[in-house]
Amino acid sequence: MRRSGARAAARISIGVLCLTLTCALGCGAREGGEGGASASEADSAQPKRPAPSFELESPTGEPITLADQRGKPVVIDFWATWCAPCLLQVPELNAFWKKHRDAADVAVIGVAVDSEGASVVAPWIAEQGVEYTIALGDEALAREFGVMGFPTLAIIDADGNIVSLHVGVTKADELEELLAPYIAPPTTQQAAR
């Protein structure tokens, strides 16, 4: 009896540790003293490096490549349907995307890492009201980018370099601040529209 009780306690301890690590990686807070690194702290610790190229498909089979976005910054959200904090990232990215889609000055791509593919991703997209581009990826691609938890936003500059990674939910206004140095100011013609 004593042995099974010790095993059960060990399993519970491991479960709590896993949950704590998952939340630490996937729920990382931002500015405001809630335990996460601020956006500026995260940027200063990450050197620029070329983003891994990818050729993925949307849930409806349309091709999506990172190379097609060259010339403008790209926000890549690595997420999964089973990731609770990923639900919170969707409205923030929708708000950001609504502000930028007409100007076409930045691309937003959500890369789903679900192994089940379109059969689970497509209904999730509809249920959550996702408005930006979604691609079917995997955890191997996420690791190539340096992702250590979900959701993670990778910021890619116009030259195709990863300039920052942000684990946890990133608010739309924080994303604006992060991308400001990489988004070209509107020309006189664009500003007049």
Q: How far apart are CA 89 and CA 141, in angstroms?
A: 20
Query: Residue 107 above 60 pLDDT?
Result: yes
| Better-scored residue on pLDDT, 45 or 156 | 156
Mind listing the pLDDT tens digit for each residue in 167-176? 999 999 999 9
Q: How far apart are CA 54 and CA 68, in angstroms?
A: 10
pLDDT at 184: 74
**Helical spans, DSSP H, in 30-152:** 39-44, 84-100, 118-128, 139-145
pLDDT at 30: 32
Domains of the chain as residue ranges with CATH? 2-184 (3.40.30.10)
Mind listing the pLDDT tens digit for each residue in 18-49? 333 344 444 433 333 333 333 433 444 556 89
**pLDDT band of 187, cuts 50, 70, 90:** low
**Helical spans, DSSP H, in the chain:** 2-26, 39-44, 84-100, 118-128, 139-145, 172-179, 188-192
| Better-scored residue on pLDDT, 8 or 186 | 186
